[in-house]
Structure 1
Protein backbone atom coordinates (compact mmCIF):
# COMPACT_ATOMS: atom_id res chain seq x y z
CA UNK A 1 0.00 0.00 0.00
CA UNK A 2 1.23 3.50 -0.80
CA UNK A 3 2.37 5.83 1.98
CA UNK A 4 -0.52 8.27 1.69
CA UNK A 5 -2.98 5.41 1.77
CA UNK A 6 -1.38 4.01 4.90
CA UNK A 7 -1.80 7.42 6.50
CA UNK A 8 -5.44 7.94 5.55
CA UNK A 9 -6.43 4.44 6.68
CA UNK A 10 -4.60 4.94 9.98
CA UNK A 11 -6.61 8.10 10.56
CA UNK A 12 -9.82 6.32 9.53
CA UNK A 13 -9.37 3.45 11.98
CA UNK A 14 -8.60 5.84 14.84
CA UNK A 15 -11.69 7.92 14.05
CA UNK A 16 -13.83 4.80 13.72
CA UNK A 17 -12.77 3.89 17.25
CA UNK A 18 -13.13 7.33 18.81
CA UNK A 19 -15.17 9.88 16.84
CA UNK A 20 -18.77 10.86 17.69
CA UNK A 21 -21.27 8.94 15.56
CA UNK A 22 -23.17 12.08 14.62
CA UNK A 23 -22.22 12.27 10.92
CA UNK A 24 -20.96 8.81 9.97
CA UNK A 25 -21.12 5.46 11.81
CA UNK A 26 -18.33 4.85 14.32
CA UNK A 27 -17.54 2.03 16.71
CA UNK A 28 -16.91 4.10 19.82
CA UNK A 29 -14.45 1.53 21.15
CA UNK A 30 -12.38 4.14 22.97
CA UNK A 31 -14.13 6.71 25.12
CA UNK A 32 -12.17 9.90 24.47
CA UNK A 33 -12.98 13.57 24.03
CA UNK A 34 -13.62 14.98 20.54
CA UNK A 35 -10.33 16.83 20.76
CA UNK A 36 -8.42 13.62 21.40
CA UNK A 37 -10.27 12.00 18.52
CA UNK A 38 -9.35 14.82 16.13
CA UNK A 39 -5.69 15.24 17.05
CA UNK A 40 -5.26 11.49 17.42
CA UNK A 41 -6.46 11.02 13.84
CA UNK A 42 -3.68 13.20 12.47
CA UNK A 43 -1.05 11.54 14.64
CA UNK A 44 -2.35 8.05 13.80
CA UNK A 45 -1.91 8.97 10.14
CA UNK A 46 1.74 9.73 10.81
CA UNK A 47 2.22 6.73 13.08
CA UNK A 48 0.86 4.52 10.29
CA UNK A 49 4.11 5.21 8.42
CA UNK A 50 6.16 3.72 11.26
CA UNK A 51 6.60 0.22 9.79
CA UNK A 52 8.19 1.77 6.69
CA UNK A 53 11.05 3.29 8.69
CA UNK A 54 13.25 0.61 7.09
CA UNK A 55 12.34 1.57 3.50
CA UNK A 56 15.01 3.65 1.69
CA UNK A 57 12.35 5.39 -0.43
CA UNK A 58 9.74 5.91 2.29
CA UNK A 59 8.58 9.31 3.50
CA UNK A 60 10.76 9.06 6.60
CA UNK A 61 13.88 8.47 4.50
CA UNK A 62 13.50 11.92 2.94
CA UNK A 63 12.46 13.76 6.09
CA UNK A 64 15.85 15.09 7.24
CA UNK A 65 18.32 14.71 4.39
CA UNK A 66 21.33 12.48 4.90
CA UNK A 67 20.55 12.00 8.59
CA UNK A 68 17.18 10.37 7.90
CA UNK A 69 18.65 8.19 5.16
CA UNK A 70 21.25 6.93 7.61
CA UNK A 71 18.52 6.31 10.18
CA UNK A 72 16.29 4.34 7.83
CA UNK A 73 19.34 2.43 6.64
CA UNK A 74 20.17 1.41 10.19
CA UNK A 75 16.57 0.36 10.88
CA UNK A 76 16.57 -1.59 7.62
CA UNK A 77 19.80 -3.36 8.50
CA UNK A 78 18.52 -4.26 11.96
CA UNK A 79 15.15 -5.50 10.72
CA UNK A 80 16.31 -7.29 7.58
CA UNK A 81 15.04 -4.74 5.05
CA UNK A 82 11.65 -3.53 3.90
CA UNK A 83 8.63 -5.68 4.80
CA UNK A 84 10.67 -7.72 7.21
CA UNK A 85 11.01 -7.04 10.93
CA UNK A 86 8.95 -3.88 11.21
CA UNK A 87 6.16 -5.54 9.22
CA UNK A 88 6.13 -8.73 11.27
CA UNK A 89 2.99 -9.68 13.23
CA UNK A 90 5.32 -10.45 16.14
CA UNK A 91 6.50 -6.83 16.25
CA UNK A 92 2.93 -5.57 15.86
CA UNK A 93 1.92 -7.76 18.79
CA UNK A 94 4.73 -6.20 20.83
CA UNK A 95 3.53 -2.69 19.94
CA UNK A 96 -0.06 -3.52 20.89
CA UNK A 97 1.08 -5.36 23.99
CA UNK A 98 3.11 -2.36 25.11
CA UNK A 99 0.11 -0.06 24.59
CA UNK A 100 -2.17 -2.38 26.57
CA UNK A 101 0.42 -2.80 29.31
CA UNK A 102 0.77 0.95 29.67
CA UNK A 103 -3.00 1.39 29.74
CA UNK A 104 -3.48 -1.40 32.28
CA UNK A 105 -0.69 0.00 34.40
CA UNK A 106 -2.37 3.37 34.58
CA UNK A 107 -0.08 5.16 32.13
CA UNK A 108 -0.31 8.76 33.26
CA UNK A 109 1.00 12.07 32.12
CA UNK A 110 4.81 11.92 32.30
CA UNK A 111 6.43 14.63 34.37
CA UNK A 112 7.84 17.49 32.36
CA UNK A 113 11.30 17.09 30.85
CA UNK A 114 11.68 13.47 31.92
CA UNK A 115 12.86 10.91 29.32
CA UNK A 116 9.29 9.65 28.76
CA UNK A 117 8.07 13.23 28.29
CA UNK A 118 10.73 13.89 25.65
CA UNK A 119 9.89 10.57 23.97
CA UNK A 120 6.23 11.62 23.72
CA UNK A 121 7.27 14.96 22.27
CA UNK A 122 9.42 13.23 19.65
CA UNK A 123 6.60 10.87 18.66
CA UNK A 124 4.13 13.73 18.30
CA UNK A 125 6.59 15.85 16.34
CA UNK A 126 7.52 13.05 13.94
CA UNK A 127 3.98 11.76 13.49
CA UNK A 128 2.64 15.24 12.74
CA UNK A 129 5.44 16.02 10.28
CA UNK A 130 5.10 12.68 8.48
CA UNK A 131 1.31 13.04 8.22
CA UNK A 132 1.50 16.57 6.82
CA UNK A 133 4.04 15.61 4.18
CA UNK A 134 2.67 12.25 3.04
CA UNK A 135 -0.85 13.68 2.76
CA UNK A 136 0.61 16.63 0.84
CA UNK A 137 -0.82 19.19 3.20
CA UNK A 138 2.64 20.76 3.44
CA UNK A 139 5.05 20.88 0.50
CA UNK A 140 8.43 21.14 2.23
CA UNK A 141 9.99 19.25 5.09
CA UNK A 142 11.27 22.25 7.11
CA UNK A 143 7.72 23.61 7.40
CA UNK A 144 6.41 20.16 8.35
CA UNK A 145 9.03 19.81 11.09
CA UNK A 146 8.29 23.31 12.42
CA UNK A 147 4.58 22.52 12.67
CA UNK A 148 5.39 19.13 14.19
CA UNK A 149 7.66 20.68 16.80
CA UNK A 150 5.09 23.37 17.57
CA UNK A 151 2.38 20.76 18.00
CA UNK A 152 4.58 18.68 20.28
CA UNK A 153 5.43 21.70 22.42
CA UNK A 154 1.81 22.84 22.64
CA UNK A 155 0.52 19.39 23.57
CA UNK A 156 3.26 18.43 26.00
CA UNK A 157 3.24 21.78 27.78
CA UNK A 158 -0.42 22.80 27.60
CA UNK A 159 -2.37 19.56 27.10
CA UNK A 160 -0.40 16.83 28.88
CA UNK A 161 -3.58 14.81 29.38
CA UNK A 162 -3.45 13.87 25.71
CA UNK A 163 -0.22 11.94 26.31
CA UNK A 164 -2.24 9.26 28.11
CA UNK A 165 -3.69 8.28 24.72
CA UNK A 166 -0.46 8.38 22.72
CA UNK A 167 0.41 4.65 23.05
CA UNK A 168 -3.01 3.74 21.64
CA UNK A 169 -2.56 6.19 18.76
CA UNK A 170 0.76 4.62 17.79
CA UNK A 171 -0.59 1.06 18.11
CA UNK A 172 -3.60 1.86 15.90
CA UNK A 173 -1.44 3.47 13.23
CA UNK A 174 1.12 0.66 13.25
CA UNK A 175 -1.41 -2.16 13.02
CA UNK A 176 -3.46 -0.41 10.35
CA UNK A 177 -0.33 -0.22 8.20
CA UNK A 178 0.13 -3.98 8.43
CA UNK A 179 -3.54 -4.61 7.70
CA UNK A 180 -3.18 -2.56 4.52
CA UNK A 181 -0.07 -4.38 3.37
CA UNK A 182 -1.49 -7.85 3.89
CA UNK A 183 -4.23 -6.91 1.42
CA UNK A 184 -1.63 -6.42 -1.33
CA UNK A 185 0.36 -9.03 -3.25
CA UNK A 186 3.49 -8.35 -1.19
CA UNK A 187 1.96 -9.62 2.03
CA UNK A 188 3.61 -9.81 5.44
CA UNK A 189 6.33 -12.04 6.94
CA UNK A 190 4.04 -14.33 8.92
CA UNK A 191 6.58 -15.89 11.27
CA UNK A 192 9.51 -13.44 11.11
CA UNK A 193 12.33 -13.91 12.08
CA UNK A 194 11.62 -17.47 10.92
CA UNK A 195 10.53 -18.54 7.46
CA UNK A 196 7.68 -21.04 7.28
CA UNK A 197 6.52 -22.11 3.84
CA UNK A 198 2.83 -22.74 3.34
CA UNK A 199 1.34 -26.20 2.83
CA UNK A 200 0.95 -27.42 -0.73
CA UNK A 201 -2.83 -26.98 -0.78
CA UNK A 202 -2.57 -23.21 -0.07
CA UNK A 203 -2.07 -21.13 -3.24
CA UNK A 204 1.32 -19.44 -3.50
CA UNK A 205 -0.43 -16.10 -4.00
CA UNK A 206 -1.74 -16.38 -0.42
CA UNK A 207 1.04 -18.20 1.46
CA UNK A 208 4.23 -17.63 -0.42
CA UNK A 209 7.32 -19.81 -0.55
CA UNK A 210 9.27 -17.08 1.25
CA UNK A 211 6.94 -17.40 4.24
CA UNK A 212 4.90 -14.28 3.50
CA UNK A 213 1.13 -14.31 3.92
CA UNK A 214 -1.15 -12.21 1.69
CA UNK A 215 -4.86 -11.73 1.11
CA UNK A 216 -4.29 -9.74 -2.09
CA UNK A 217 -7.76 -8.33 -2.68
CA UNK A 218 -6.17 -4.97 -3.56
CA UNK A 219 -3.60 -6.41 -5.96
CA UNK A 220 -0.23 -4.66 -6.22
CA UNK A 221 0.54 -1.62 -4.08
CA UNK A 222 -0.87 1.48 -5.74
CA UNK A 223 -3.44 -0.42 -7.79
CA UNK A 224 -6.70 1.10 -9.01
CA UNK A 225 -8.55 -0.96 -6.41
CA UNK A 226 -6.40 0.55 -3.69
CA UNK A 227 -7.09 4.06 -4.98
CA UNK A 228 -10.85 3.43 -5.09
CA UNK A 229 -10.86 2.07 -1.54
CA UNK A 230 -8.75 4.87 -0.13
CA UNK A 231 -10.76 7.54 -1.93
CA UNK A 232 -13.84 6.29 -0.09
CA UNK A 233 -11.85 6.09 3.15
CA UNK A 234 -10.74 9.71 2.66
CA UNK A 235 -14.37 10.83 2.51
CA UNK A 236 -15.06 8.90 5.72
CA UNK A 237 -12.10 10.57 7.43
CA UNK A 238 -13.25 14.05 6.45
CA UNK A 239 -16.78 13.41 7.72
CA UNK A 240 -15.67 11.76 10.98
CA UNK A 241 -13.10 14.49 11.55
CA UNK A 242 -15.78 17.11 11.02
CA UNK A 243 -17.99 15.34 13.56
CA UNK A 244 -15.16 15.53 16.11
CA UNK A 245 -14.43 19.19 15.40
CA UNK A 246 -18.12 20.10 15.41
CA UNK A 247 -18.48 18.54 18.86
CA UNK A 248 -15.82 20.97 20.10
CA UNK A 249 -17.68 24.04 18.87
CA UNK A 250 -20.23 25.91 21.00
CA UNK A 251 -23.66 24.44 20.34
Structure 2
Protein backbone atom coordinates (compact mmCIF):
# COMPACT_ATOMS: atom_id res chain seq x y z
CA UNK A 1 0.00 0.00 0.00
CA UNK A 2 0.97 3.61 -0.44
CA UNK A 3 2.15 5.45 2.66
CA UNK A 4 -0.88 7.73 2.76
CA UNK A 5 -3.17 4.71 2.66
CA UNK A 6 -1.24 2.97 5.42
CA UNK A 7 -1.60 6.08 7.58
CA UNK A 8 -5.29 6.46 6.76
CA UNK A 9 -6.15 2.86 7.55
CA UNK A 10 -4.11 3.03 10.76
CA UNK A 11 -6.18 6.05 11.76
CA UNK A 12 -9.38 4.19 10.92
CA UNK A 13 -8.37 1.08 12.86
CA UNK A 14 -7.68 3.12 15.99
CA UNK A 15 -11.08 4.82 15.78
CA UNK A 16 -12.82 1.50 15.17
CA UNK A 17 -11.15 -0.05 18.23
CA UNK A 18 -11.41 2.85 20.68
CA UNK A 19 -14.33 5.18 19.86
CA UNK A 20 -17.22 5.07 22.30
CA UNK A 21 -19.41 7.90 20.98
CA UNK A 22 -22.85 6.81 19.71
CA UNK A 23 -22.17 9.03 16.70
CA UNK A 24 -19.16 6.94 15.63
CA UNK A 25 -19.70 3.37 14.36
CA UNK A 26 -17.05 1.26 16.07
CA UNK A 27 -16.25 -2.14 17.57
CA UNK A 28 -15.65 -0.62 21.00
CA UNK A 29 -12.96 -3.18 21.81
CA UNK A 30 -10.93 -0.72 23.88
CA UNK A 31 -13.20 2.29 24.53
CA UNK A 32 -11.31 5.46 25.43
CA UNK A 33 -12.21 9.05 26.21
CA UNK A 34 -12.65 11.38 23.21
CA UNK A 35 -9.27 13.09 23.67
CA UNK A 36 -7.48 9.75 23.50
CA UNK A 37 -9.48 8.72 20.43
CA UNK A 38 -8.66 11.95 18.60
CA UNK A 39 -4.98 12.17 19.53
CA UNK A 40 -4.41 8.43 19.40
CA UNK A 41 -5.83 8.25 15.90
CA UNK A 42 -3.11 10.53 14.57
CA UNK A 43 -0.44 8.67 16.55
CA UNK A 44 -1.67 5.31 15.20
CA UNK A 45 -1.58 6.76 11.69
CA UNK A 46 2.09 7.58 12.20
CA UNK A 47 2.76 4.15 13.69
CA UNK A 48 1.20 2.56 10.60
CA UNK A 49 4.20 3.85 8.65
CA UNK A 50 6.81 2.19 10.87
CA UNK A 51 7.09 -1.23 9.16
CA UNK A 52 8.27 0.57 6.02
CA UNK A 53 11.28 1.87 7.94
CA UNK A 54 13.06 -1.02 6.20
CA UNK A 55 12.99 0.91 2.90
CA UNK A 56 15.48 3.76 2.24
CA UNK A 57 12.94 5.48 -0.01
CA UNK A 58 10.00 5.23 2.38
CA UNK A 59 8.23 8.47 3.22
CA UNK A 60 9.60 8.63 6.74
CA UNK A 61 13.15 8.32 5.43
CA UNK A 62 12.79 11.95 4.36
CA UNK A 63 11.70 13.11 7.81
CA UNK A 64 15.23 14.11 8.84
CA UNK A 65 17.82 14.94 6.16
CA UNK A 66 20.62 12.36 5.90
CA UNK A 67 19.74 10.75 9.24
CA UNK A 68 16.38 9.45 8.00
CA UNK A 69 17.87 7.59 5.06
CA UNK A 70 20.75 6.29 7.18
CA UNK A 71 18.36 4.87 9.77
CA UNK A 72 15.99 3.27 7.25
CA UNK A 73 18.93 1.79 5.33
CA UNK A 74 20.30 0.30 8.55
CA UNK A 75 16.92 -1.15 9.50
CA UNK A 76 16.53 -2.60 6.01
CA UNK A 77 19.93 -4.25 6.18
CA UNK A 78 19.29 -5.67 9.65
CA UNK A 79 15.84 -7.03 8.76
CA UNK A 80 16.75 -8.52 5.39
CA UNK A 81 15.40 -5.78 3.13
CA UNK A 82 11.99 -4.39 2.32
CA UNK A 83 9.01 -6.56 3.31
CA UNK A 84 11.09 -9.01 5.27
CA UNK A 85 11.59 -8.84 9.04
CA UNK A 86 9.49 -5.76 9.74
CA UNK A 87 6.59 -7.26 7.79
CA UNK A 88 6.74 -10.73 9.34
CA UNK A 89 4.34 -12.45 11.66
CA UNK A 90 7.15 -12.44 14.21
CA UNK A 91 7.32 -8.63 14.14
CA UNK A 92 3.58 -8.36 14.77
CA UNK A 93 3.81 -10.74 17.72
CA UNK A 94 6.74 -8.82 19.19
CA UNK A 95 5.01 -5.44 18.83
CA UNK A 96 1.86 -6.73 20.56
CA UNK A 97 3.96 -8.32 23.33
CA UNK A 98 5.79 -5.03 23.84
CA UNK A 99 2.43 -3.24 24.09
CA UNK A 100 1.31 -5.68 26.79
CA UNK A 101 4.62 -5.19 28.61
CA UNK A 102 4.85 -1.40 28.45
CA UNK A 103 1.23 -0.52 29.18
CA UNK A 104 1.50 -1.34 32.92
CA UNK A 105 4.59 0.88 33.15
CA UNK A 106 2.50 3.84 32.00
CA UNK A 107 -0.89 2.98 33.47
CA UNK A 108 -1.19 4.78 36.79
CA UNK A 109 2.49 5.77 36.69
CA UNK A 110 2.37 8.45 34.02
CA UNK A 111 3.86 11.29 36.05
CA UNK A 112 5.25 14.40 34.39
CA UNK A 113 9.03 14.29 34.41
CA UNK A 114 9.30 10.51 34.77
CA UNK A 115 11.61 8.74 32.28
CA UNK A 116 8.85 6.59 30.79
CA UNK A 117 6.64 9.62 30.15
CA UNK A 118 9.51 11.53 28.55
CA UNK A 119 10.25 8.60 26.23
CA UNK A 120 6.56 8.19 25.43
CA UNK A 121 6.33 11.88 24.59
CA UNK A 122 9.34 11.69 22.29
CA UNK A 123 7.92 8.66 20.48
CA UNK A 124 4.53 10.33 20.15
CA UNK A 125 6.13 13.51 18.77
CA UNK A 126 7.78 11.51 15.98
CA UNK A 127 4.62 9.56 15.16
CA UNK A 128 2.49 12.71 15.12
CA UNK A 129 5.04 14.26 12.79
CA UNK A 130 4.99 11.32 10.37
CA UNK A 131 1.19 11.24 10.29
CA UNK A 132 0.66 14.96 9.78
CA UNK A 133 3.08 15.08 6.87
CA UNK A 134 1.92 11.90 5.14
CA UNK A 135 -1.78 12.71 5.56
CA UNK A 136 -1.02 16.20 4.23
CA UNK A 137 -2.33 17.94 7.34
CA UNK A 138 0.77 20.12 6.98
CA UNK A 139 2.91 20.70 3.89
CA UNK A 140 6.51 20.53 5.10
CA UNK A 141 8.55 18.31 7.37
CA UNK A 142 9.71 21.35 9.33
CA UNK A 143 6.17 22.40 10.22
CA UNK A 144 5.25 18.78 10.91
CA UNK A 145 8.12 18.39 13.39
CA UNK A 146 7.35 21.72 15.07
CA UNK A 147 3.68 20.85 15.46
CA UNK A 148 4.34 17.30 16.61
CA UNK A 149 6.88 18.40 19.22
CA UNK A 150 4.64 21.16 20.56
CA UNK A 151 1.58 18.90 20.87
CA UNK A 152 3.50 16.01 22.41
CA UNK A 153 5.44 18.35 24.68
CA UNK A 154 2.34 20.03 26.08
CA UNK A 155 0.66 16.69 26.75
CA UNK A 156 3.81 15.26 28.33
CA UNK A 157 4.00 18.24 30.70
CA UNK A 158 0.35 18.77 31.56
CA UNK A 159 -1.55 15.57 30.67
CA UNK A 160 1.03 12.76 30.97
CA UNK A 161 -1.70 10.21 31.66
CA UNK A 162 -2.71 10.44 28.01
CA UNK A 163 0.28 8.33 27.04
CA UNK A 164 -1.11 5.24 28.78
CA UNK A 165 -2.60 4.18 25.44
CA UNK A 166 0.54 4.86 23.37
CA UNK A 167 1.86 1.26 23.21
CA UNK A 168 -1.45 0.09 21.79
CA UNK A 169 -1.58 2.90 19.25
CA UNK A 170 1.79 1.69 17.97
CA UNK A 171 0.67 -1.95 17.93
CA UNK A 172 -2.61 -1.21 16.14
CA UNK A 173 -0.85 0.97 13.58
CA UNK A 174 1.83 -1.66 12.95
CA UNK A 175 -0.58 -4.56 12.53
CA UNK A 176 -2.89 -2.48 10.33
CA UNK A 177 0.05 -1.74 8.03
CA UNK A 178 0.69 -5.46 7.69
CA UNK A 179 -2.98 -6.15 7.00
CA UNK A 180 -2.89 -3.59 4.20
CA UNK A 181 0.16 -5.14 2.57
CA UNK A 182 -1.38 -8.59 2.96
CA UNK A 183 -4.14 -7.43 0.62
CA UNK A 184 -1.66 -6.56 -2.16
CA UNK A 185 -0.10 -8.96 -4.65
CA UNK A 186 3.26 -8.57 -2.88
CA UNK A 187 1.92 -10.14 0.30
CA UNK A 188 3.83 -10.76 3.51
CA UNK A 189 6.60 -13.15 4.63
CA UNK A 190 4.49 -14.24 7.59
CA UNK A 191 6.81 -17.11 8.53
CA UNK A 192 10.05 -15.11 8.23
CA UNK A 193 12.87 -15.95 8.91
CA UNK A 194 11.84 -19.46 7.89
CA UNK A 195 12.04 -19.87 4.08
CA UNK A 196 8.74 -21.72 3.77
CA UNK A 197 7.90 -22.04 0.09
CA UNK A 198 5.09 -23.95 -1.64
CA UNK A 199 5.71 -27.04 -3.79
CA UNK A 200 7.00 -26.27 -7.28
CA UNK A 201 3.76 -27.53 -8.80
CA UNK A 202 1.94 -24.79 -6.88
CA UNK A 203 2.85 -22.24 -9.56
CA UNK A 204 0.76 -24.15 -12.10
CA UNK A 205 -2.35 -22.99 -10.27
CA UNK A 206 -2.60 -19.17 -10.58
CA UNK A 207 -5.07 -18.71 -7.73
CA UNK A 208 -3.07 -20.79 -5.28
CA UNK A 209 0.17 -19.14 -6.40
CA UNK A 210 -1.35 -15.72 -5.69
CA UNK A 211 -2.18 -16.79 -2.12
CA UNK A 212 1.21 -18.42 -1.40
CA UNK A 213 3.95 -17.26 -3.73
CA UNK A 214 7.08 -19.08 -4.82
CA UNK A 215 9.05 -16.62 -2.70
CA UNK A 216 7.27 -17.79 0.44
CA UNK A 217 4.98 -14.78 0.77
CA UNK A 218 1.32 -15.05 1.74
CA UNK A 219 -1.36 -12.73 0.36
CA UNK A 220 -5.05 -12.15 -0.17
CA UNK A 221 -4.52 -9.78 -3.11
CA UNK A 222 -7.94 -8.19 -3.39
CA UNK A 223 -6.49 -4.68 -3.93
CA UNK A 224 -3.97 -5.76 -6.57
CA UNK A 225 -0.67 -3.93 -6.90
CA UNK A 226 0.39 -1.09 -4.63
CA UNK A 227 -1.23 2.19 -5.64
CA UNK A 228 -3.98 0.60 -7.73
CA UNK A 229 -7.49 2.00 -8.03
CA UNK A 230 -8.73 -0.97 -6.03
CA UNK A 231 -6.44 0.03 -3.19
CA UNK A 232 -7.97 3.51 -3.25
CA UNK A 233 -11.49 2.05 -3.23
CA UNK A 234 -10.65 0.29 0.03
CA UNK A 235 -8.37 2.84 1.69
CA UNK A 236 -10.03 6.18 0.92
CA UNK A 237 -13.41 5.40 2.60
CA UNK A 238 -11.56 4.02 5.63
CA UNK A 239 -9.44 7.15 5.82
CA UNK A 240 -12.54 9.35 5.65
CA UNK A 241 -14.11 7.27 8.42
CA UNK A 242 -10.99 7.78 10.51
CA UNK A 243 -11.04 11.55 10.04
CA UNK A 244 -14.75 11.59 10.84
CA UNK A 245 -14.07 9.65 14.03
CA UNK A 246 -11.33 11.92 15.34
CA UNK A 247 -13.33 14.97 14.24
CA UNK A 248 -16.39 13.94 16.23
CA UNK A 249 -14.17 13.01 19.17
CA UNK A 250 -12.44 16.39 19.09
CA UNK A 251 -15.72 18.29 18.81
CA UNK A 252 -17.17 16.38 21.75
CA UNK A 253 -14.52 18.00 23.95
CA UNK A 254 -16.24 21.36 23.46
CA UNK A 255 -18.41 22.07 26.52
CA UNK A 256 -21.47 23.17 24.54
CA UNK A 257 -21.64 20.00 22.42
CA UNK A 258 -22.82 16.61 23.59
CA UNK A 259 -21.38 14.07 21.17
CA UNK A 260 -19.88 11.67 23.69
Q: Give the shorter-chain TM-score range.
A: over 0.9
1:216 maps to what in 2? 221
1:16 maps to what in 2? 16
What is the alpha-carbon distance in structure 2 between the residues aligned to residue 187 and residue 72 of structure 1?
Answer: 21
How far has the Cα of 1:110 moved from its partner? 4.3
Q: Show the 5 A alignment for 1:114-153.
A: 114-153=114-153
Residue 246 of structure 1: which of 231, 245, 251 is its match? 251
1:233 maps to what in 2? 238
- Give the TM-score taking structure 1 as reference length: 0.94
Seen in structure 2, the aligned counterparts of structure 1 residues 104 and 129 have a Cα distance that, compared at 3 Å, is closer
Seen in structure 2, the aligned counterparts of structure 1 residues 219 and 207 have a Cα distance that, compared at 3 Å, is same
How far has the Cα of 1:114 moved from its partner? 4.6
How far has the Cα of 1:244 moved from its partner? 1.1
What is the alpha-carbon distance in structure 2 between the residues aligned to residue 239 and residue 66 of structure 1?
Answer: 36
What is the alpha-carbon distance in structure 2 between the residues aligned to residue 111 and residue 245 of structure 1?
Answer: 24
Whether the 8 Å contact between 1:23 and 1:239 is mirrored in structure 2 is no
Seen in structure 2, the aligned counterparts of structure 1 residues 106 and 42 have a Cα distance that, compared at 3 Å, is closer
Whether the 8 Å contact between 1:124 and 1:151 is mirrored in structure 2 is no
Q: Show the 5 A alignment for 1:111-190.
A: 111-190=111-190
Gap runs ≥5 in structure 2 = none
Question: Once structures 1 and 2 are overlaid, which stretch shifts more, 150-159 or 17-26?
Answer: 17-26
| RMSD of aligned Cα (Å) | 1.7
Where 1:218 maps in the other structure, the secondary structure is: coil
Whether the 8 Å contact between 1:120 and 1:166 is mirrored in structure 2 is yes
Gap runs ≥5 in structure 1 = none
Seen in structure 2, the aligned counterparts of structure 1 residues 43 and 105 have a Cα distance that, compared at 3 Å, is closer
Aligned length: 251
How far has the Cα of 1:125 moved from its partner? 1.0
- Give the TM-score taking structure 2 as reference length: 0.91
Question: Once structures 1 and 2 are overlaid, which stretch shifts more, 110-119 or 35-44?
Answer: 110-119
Whether the 8 Å contact between 1:109 and 1:163 is mirrored in structure 2 is no
Where 1:138 maps in the other structure, the secondary structure is: coil
